[in-house]
Amino acid sequence: MNGFSLSYIAFSQTEIIILFVTAVLFLLGCLFNITVMMRCPHYAKLVRKGKVWFSAARPPVSVILYTEDNIEALKVSLPAILEQDYKSFEVIVVNDGASETIKDYIKSLTPVYGNLYYTFIPVGAHSLSRKKLAITIGMKAAKYDIVAVTEAGCRPVSDKWLETMMRNFTTDIEIVIGNTKEISDIRAKWYLDFYRLVFKMKFLGRAVINRAYMGEGSNMFFFKDLFFKIKGFSEHLDIVYGEDDVFINRVMTRRNTRGEFSPEALVENYCENNNSSISEMRLRREFTQKLLKGASSLVLGCRKTVSWGFYISAVTSMVYGVVRGNVVMSLFALLLVVLWWLIESAVFRSNARVLGSPAKCSAAILYDIVSPVIDCRFRYKGRKTLIKNYTWRIKR
């Protein structure tokens, strides 16, 4: 076979082709990492440098706090929301139930906080989705033009939460989606931490380039008129979920949405068990993602293809080099793998820092390798539990 000689080392055409493919895939992967995967850190840097315009106006806001008759979760959220350093806001607690304990708790706070209001859904009330009913009640009770939606168990980490989120309502902005971090005494499995990090990199990263497609109901602000303009949740009453992502997807445009993930705007979501909470969250998102306009990302799909192509070609180069006795070929491929690992670790570490993720970024390359298997597992599990997502399964 014809080839060329580099000093005393001869490369066959086959070896040259394998190394060339490996090098090209490596460069493509680097390009993805420093562009697509670095959107959130890049935006955070622009904010720090004062290159992102924020509004100086601080209009009043109505905070709708949903609780499922859980006094302990409510005690986590309510004090932190009521103590926000913001001029004009109201807090509307909507309870899915009629617990006397929660009523008494609210009553004990109303003499101190005149901006606190309470309503509830009676236990016997019929609804296709009780959370959607609760939010609708909260929307009708809200007196301000802008509403914030969150849940019991979710606590703003800063008393500047409202101010930081509200600063994004500039001339054309009607929706601001925020960042949420899961907190639990039981540490989530490493790959679930990575799933949450990659998930947030995707939907918040696309928000900062005016390609937003969803938000999360734990930290989401929008104009109340948007809710009534599309008749609330009328388009997706047949599914249990979707009160955050599917709803907000219907009113998002390329001009009216911003992402906010500065530390002051972070909301912590306290879970009893992070493993079960994140797994359940993922199953819900796997189902509702099919209903979201603009949710599919060809770019991120290409990145996975490039990653796997690189791993396969790099391993092929190393093995072929060993078999053929070409040590330089094997060492070159190994060097590219090490560089790939260092770059991926740095990219994930940068994102984890700005998004408040506990993911162990040194395992980035391992997640890349095993994620297709994990994806298949969740898709299979999602098909088995598909019926849970529809409201017609609920017995009345």
Q: Is the pLDDT score of 348 beyond 80?
A: yes
pLDDT digits (tens, 9 = 90+) for 357-377: 999 888 888 888 888 888 888
> What are the DSSP calls for 104-126, one per residue?
HHHHHHTTT-TTEEEEEE-TT--
At 5 the pLDDT is 46
Tell how strand 154-156 and strand 267-270 pair up.
Answer: antiparallel
Confidence of residue 4 (pLDDT cuts 50, 70, 90): very low
Helix-, strand-, coil-residue percentages of the chain, each rounded to 5: 55, 15, 30
Q: Would you say 243 and 139 are in contact if contact means Cβ atoms under 8 Å apart?
A: no
Select the more confidently predicted residue: 24 or 326: 24
Q: Is the pLDDT score of 231 beyond 90?
A: no
In the chain, the percentage of residues whose pLDDT exceeds 90 is 57
Q: Would you say 55 and 369 are in contact if contact means Cβ atoms under 8 Å apart?
A: no
Tell me how many degrees the CA angle 249-255-257 measures, rounded to the nearest 5.
Answer: 50
Confidence of residue 101 (pLDDT cuts 50, 70, 90): very high
pLDDT digits (tens, 9 = 90+) for 173-207: 999 999 999 998 888 889 999 999 999 999 999 99
At 374 the pLDDT is 87
Dist CA 267 CA 385 (whole Å): 29
| CB atoms closer than 10 angstroms to residue 204 | 24
pTM of the predicted structure, to 2 decimals? 0.88
Q: Would you say 62 and 143 are in contact if contact means Cβ atoms under 8 Å apart?
A: yes
Q: Would you say 148 and 221 are in contact if contact means Cβ atoms under 8 Å apart?
A: yes
At 75 the pLDDT is 95
| CB atoms closer than 10 angstroms to residue 83 | 11
Confidence of residue 389 (pLDDT cuts 50, 70, 90): low
* 233 CB-near residues (< 8 Å, 6+ apart): 129, 132, 135, 136, 242, 243, 247
Confidence of residue 211 (pLDDT cuts 50, 70, 90): confident
Q: Is the pLDDT score of 2 beyond 70?
A: no
- Cα–Cα distances (Å) from 298 to 303, 304, 347, 389, in that order, read 9, 10, 20, 26
Q: Would you say 138 and 119 are in contact if contact means Cβ atoms under 8 Å apart?
A: yes
Dist CA 27 CA 333 (whole Å): 13
Dist CA 41 CA 322 (whole Å): 40
Dist CA 84 CA 62 (whole Å): 13
At 128 the pLDDT is 60
Q: Is the pLDDT score of 6 beyond 60?
A: no
pLDDT digits (tens, 9 = 90+) for 14-23: 888 999 999 9
Q: Six-digit token pair at 37?
A: 């995967």
Q: Is the pLDDT score of 41 beyond 90?
A: yes
Axis-axis angle for helices 364-384, 274-288 (nearest 10): 70
Dist CA 321 CA 317 (whole Å): 6
Q: What are phi and psi of 17, to 5 degrees?
A: -65, -45
Decide: residue 199, CB within 10 A, 0-12 exposed, 13-18 middle, 19+ buried.
middle
Select the more confidently predicted residue: 193 or 287: 193
